[in-house]
Amino acid sequence: MSATTDATADTIGVTYPFAAIVGQDRMKLALLANAVNPAIGGVLIRGERGTAKSTAVRGLAVILPAITVSTCRYRCDPSSGNICHECRAKLDASVSIETESQRVRVVDLPVSATEDRVVGTIDLETVLKDGRRSFEPGLLADAHRGILYVDEVNLLDDHLVDTLLDSAASGVNRVEREGVAFHHPAEFILVGTMNPEEGDLRPQLLDRFGLAAEIKGDRDPKARAEIVRRRLAYETDTAAFLEQWQPATNDVMALIERARGLLPTVEVSDHLLGLITHIANAMGVDGHRADIVMYKTARTIAALDGRSAVSLEDVRRAAELALPHRRRRDPFTPPGLDPDELDRSIQAFEARPAPAQATDSAADATDGAAGAADDSTMSSTPADNGPPGDANEADQRLASDEATTAPPVNAPERIPFQKPRTGRRTSAEVKGRRGHSVRSRPMVHDDPPDIAIVDTVRAAAARRPQKGAPEIGVQDLRVHRRMRKVGNLMLFVVDGSGSMAAQRRMQLTKSAVLSLLADAYKRRDRVGVITFRKTEAYETVPPTSSLDVAHARMHELPTGGRTPLAHGLELARLVVERERARDAQLRPILILLTDGVANVGLSAGSDPITDALQSAGAIARDHVPALVVDADRRHNRSSSLVELANQMAAAHVRLDALAAGQLTSLIRLAAA
């Protein structure tokens, strides 16, 4: 149901039928392929709001065939070597393992989940009752041999992403904490859904998804009408709707069963294996996981179609799912796979001379030559997939204005001009249960109930060292000290007035911002853009992790009109205040790009310069690190921006005096 909301599933435990979803064939193929062959490694579904992403995943649970599991806590596969301690002990003692048939689980991992809930923790009841340490499994244990579903996976905390990466790579969840060392099997199909406008994923996690499906709302009026009809029928009489679609659901279940039975017999010819590796090379993907996933997916697609031999079309469809999220790209090129580029790659492979495949060594040599020839003849290489200009043009334009001496910088003493911290983000101690536990401390009255069990028991035992179970008092309570990656917010306040449009100042300003966005992408900073022109300021880009959105809106930035500088500063202060209320550990940095020609006050009759200075002083009192970039090229004019920068406790620098890359360094210094 390509145009319904993601909440179409779940009216009191009832799920919208997978077979009733209209369109979205690529998403459904990716999910079915993983249902048939879990070794593919999961699927990432990227799409705008209301495109049935969650509906499809939840509907998949209903059509998955049952599996044989052990009766242990972890639902182990007795025929697998990756089993829990209980099952291993039975095998070592030559005791038979009891099994039963169960449906595959779909386990939700909420974005707000704590580390304890995901990996497991100490069993508090056992500790307090019996005085012994016992492990209480978490969501990774529940997801073993099932599907781990993460909605809005791009918003998941970094420390949880790291945990998922470790478990997905090894198939084992290892826990070393609070005096407990424990591990258990955790093999799962990772399924994630996300809206790209809310930010992208780290490349390490992207690569862990076997397949990726990019989906959009259906633009066909007939299809949209059918979506509405089915949704209303589902809401009006759910039981009748489910009964109507039960035959189609049974057909999908039978299709999965047949494909699973056929999959072991599906063969891939050496010629098509060569094509798979050739496509992966031509598309410029890193590593070899893409080749392996394409191979597995092509076989699975053939099995779903009821064939025992893979065809060229199977390889093509597999490439469309396995490659888009793995391609090397610059920060502002959206993920995807150009169908024409894929066609050219396939045609180049098919046009190779036949003797080139005589031996493995000859094939390898020809592959390299063909790849080089392809790179020279194709209209774009993977490294050049981005639109012309962007950060590279920004560097070139800034380099053309490079000064022979250091740029003039007026920096207040509070800004430390030293080498800034490197790394993507800074860790800071946070309150609450979200974050990685590093140690403990005594509990105070306003602490959340995040008890560090082992340290609490130790404190009680130290206070009363007599034999027997310790009696725990309020003074013994210890809570976790948790560390979390603190987000950085780069808030650009850009002058879009008519004076900035003159003498190509806005073009230079846009280039500088695009260069800074590229740096923010590498560090996974959040960015926001405020523009001011005519008589007011606009939040052009609300703070976001999606650099694609910020980049697109910067290109579309309109110019013209008067200069309401005070409005821009006041809106920037309010945005920082709002974002700090959402995240108390936020580290903002305000970058003002203007020529300083303020001529619109905050109210009728007020002085524009005075209003701007007052707004700048309010920003300084809020302790917001800032940098003022002077875009005025009339050096002989006495600029008010130096005074404004002093009032804001900000560094001041002229844009046209900066060498390429220096602006980024100055911003990092200001934020240090």
Point out the residues that are catalytic.
289
Whether the CB-CB separation of 616 and 648 falls below 8 Å is answered with: yes
Q: Label each residue of 217-257 as H, E or C.
A: CCCCHHHHHHHHHHHHHHHHCHHHHHHHHHHHHHHHHHHHH
Calculate the CA dihedral of residues 581, 583, 589, 593 and round it to 10 degrees.
-60
Q: Is the dihedral of CA 592, 597, 602, 608 positive or negative?
A: positive
Collapse the DSSP code of 504 into the 3-class scheme (helix H, G, I; strand E, B; otherwise coil) and give the result.
Answer: helix
Residues 6+ apart with CB under 8 A from 662: 398, 407
Q: Is the dihedral of CA 153, 155, 156, 159 positive or negative?
A: positive
| Residues whose CB falls within 8 Å of the CB of residue 364, separated by 6 or more in sequence, listed in order | none
Measure CA of the first residue to CA of the last residue in the chain; give whole Å. Answer: 48
Q: In this structure, what token pair is assigned to residue 545?
A: 């992790």
Tell which phi-psi region holds residue 375, choosing left (phi > 0), alpha (psi between -120 and 50) or beta.
alpha
Closest CA to 320 of 549, 26, 614, 85: 26
Pick from 308, 320, 321: which is nearest to 345 by CA?
Answer: 320
**CB neighbour list of residue 586: distance below 8 Å, 6 or more residues apart:** 486, 487, 488, 489, 579, 580
Nearest Cα to Cα of residue 631 among 585, 663, 669: 663
Output b/e per residue, 375-406; b: 16+ Cβ within 10 A.
beebeeebeebbeeebbebbbebbeeeeeeee
CA distance 198 to 209: 19
Q: Let me know: does 223 contact 21? Beta carbons within 8 Å.
A: no
Distances (CA, A) of 45 to 31, 248, 291: 9, 23, 20
